[in-house]
A and B are shown apart, each in its own frame.
Chain A
Amino acid sequence: MEPATPSPATSPSPPAPPTGAPVGRRVVLGLVGLGVLGVVTGARIQDFLERTIGPVVAKDGTGFSALLPFGRFRIYTVTGSLPRRSAEDWSLKVHGLVDAPLRISFDELRAMEPTSLTKDFQCVTGWRVSDVQWRGVRLADLLDRAGVQDRAQAVRFTSFDGAYTESLSLEQARRRDVIVAYEMEGDALSTAHGGPVRLYVAPMYGYKSIKWLDGIELTDRVIPGYWEERGYDVDAWIGMSNGRDDAGV
């Protein structure tokens, strides 16, 4: 150690370089290394947390654990900003290979027979929100209302964000757990969650559940959607696609 050089009169000169082990830089390098390791392995750790702790968090009523970084929604957009449209300004077009193309207002949608589902939302990036309450209208009911022509084989969805698209085969679209949703957890669907109206495809990964829905087009073949053009599976069954093995919904 440096002896305290007794030179009280002069202003303290820069002391001799401190001695001792360079623990500080080791801590920095170690933690940054841990961070890199976390980026590489984080997806698997997150999966584990979602599976083990996520369901517990979902049932905890204190609200505190709702702040923990798992079992919660993450908000993604493919455009720069959140597209915003009020329920009054919103309408949904059902067109393509249908007998009677429709344009449905929010009120008209609400007037249709509602259906409720309480099911998980599973993202292909690993996070899962347990037991989400959804309310809306069965997609099949909307299709019937427009009258699907025989040539139609698939459904294409568009978003008023101007960029996102999705697709389902007609058979998938007619499932009872595929709904055009306008409520989540008992509240009107917020903008961040795709409001005023989004699709919720329960048995498939979240990217199929297009947000800010404004168009449903019947087509003669499946037209791959936004993420499917970028390598995601078109048939996005949870646990049976995209190389993942999550529990089904």
Chain B
Amino acid sequence: MSLATEELDRFDTTERVVHWVTAVLLLTLLGTGFALYAGPLSTLVGRRELVKTVHVIAGLALPVPLVIALLLPRRGRALRADVRRIDRFDAEDRRWLRRRTHRRARTGKFNAGQKLNASFLVAAGIALLGTGVIMRWPDPWSVDLRTGATFVHDWFAIGVLLAVAGHIVFALRDPDALGGMLRGRVPARWARKEHPRWYEEMTGRPADKLAPARKPESRAGSPR
């Protein structure tokens, strides 16, 4: 197979199903959440109860696909392996995060930005679920804790909105990466360029030998 057409398996069916079900739930949450938040001052009031019900149900459902998939003995294997990759940061990830060395970082299956984004979204999901439960069932909590829950819910939601917007922009700018989540496979040449260590792991071939000789990097320190 020539490198031009060769493809590598990136995400299995389980991972893609989890991704897209979660995406639908998350977009629902962002949409209904924004309507609840900004709605009373505009015209959405009429449907407020329905919007609230949808928001609560989608919120409670959000972790379900991921948790179920993680528990699947066989079909959850690839997902669990990716979770372990995302958890670990090595020297290359630190290089990726530093502006000066960013371009020279040899990333594995996920770059440090993807890892941090994933970790942030998991944490935000937990925080939003917990504070959302306090907001939806407020009776056992003191006024201060309810106010605190609303405060945390607001700011984590803004964070998630920004992270998801960034995620979508990056995906749309990189059709090969997007294809990985749509079809499960990515072009080998894309992997070699964007995720060289993962390319090596998958093919057993060195990534750099085939790559064009690296130019003496004068732009390495310039703003990206």
What residues of chain A have their CB less than 8 Å away from a CB belonging to chain B?
1-2, 4-8, 12, 14-15, 17-25, 27-32, 34-35, 38-43, 45-46, 66-67, 69, 72-75, 80-82, 124-127, 190-193
If A19-B88, A39-B145 are given as contacts, then 11 extra A-B residue pairs at C-beta distance below 8 Å, sorted by A number, are: A4-B200, A6-B204, A20-B89, A24-B89, A25-B119, A27-B120, A31-B127, A39-B149, A40-B148, A69-B151, A125-B150
- Write out, one digit per residue, whether chain B residues 62-91 have a CB within 8 A of any chain A CB (1) or not (0): 000000000000000100010011111111
Chain B interface size, under 10 / 10 to 19 / 20 to 34 / 35 or more: 35 or more
Give A193 to B48 CA distance when docked, in angstroms.
Answer: 12
Tally A-B pairs: CB < 8 A. Answer: 150
With A4-B197, A27-B123, A69-B155 already in contact, the answer to whether A20 and B148 are too (CB < 8 A) is no
The chain A residue with its CB closest to the CB of B207 is A4
Tell me which of B88, B130, B151 contacts A24 (CB under 8 A): B88
Pick 10 A–B contacts, CB within 8 A, sort by A. Answer: A8-B203, A18-B90, A21-B89, A22-B89, A24-B86, A35-B127, A46-B150, A46-B151, A74-B150, A192-B45
Interface residues of B in 98-130 (CB under 8 A from A): 108, 115-116, 118-120, 122-124, 126-127, 130
Q: Smallest Cβ distance from A156 to chain B, in angstroms?
A: 24
Cβ of B88 and Cβ of A23 under 8 Å apart?
A: yes
Cβ of B131 and Cβ of A35 under 8 Å apart?
A: yes
Contacts of B87 in A (CB 8 A): 18, 22-25
Contacts of B175 in A (CB 8 A): none
Tell me which of A5, A17, A24, A125 contacts B147 (CB under 8 A): A125
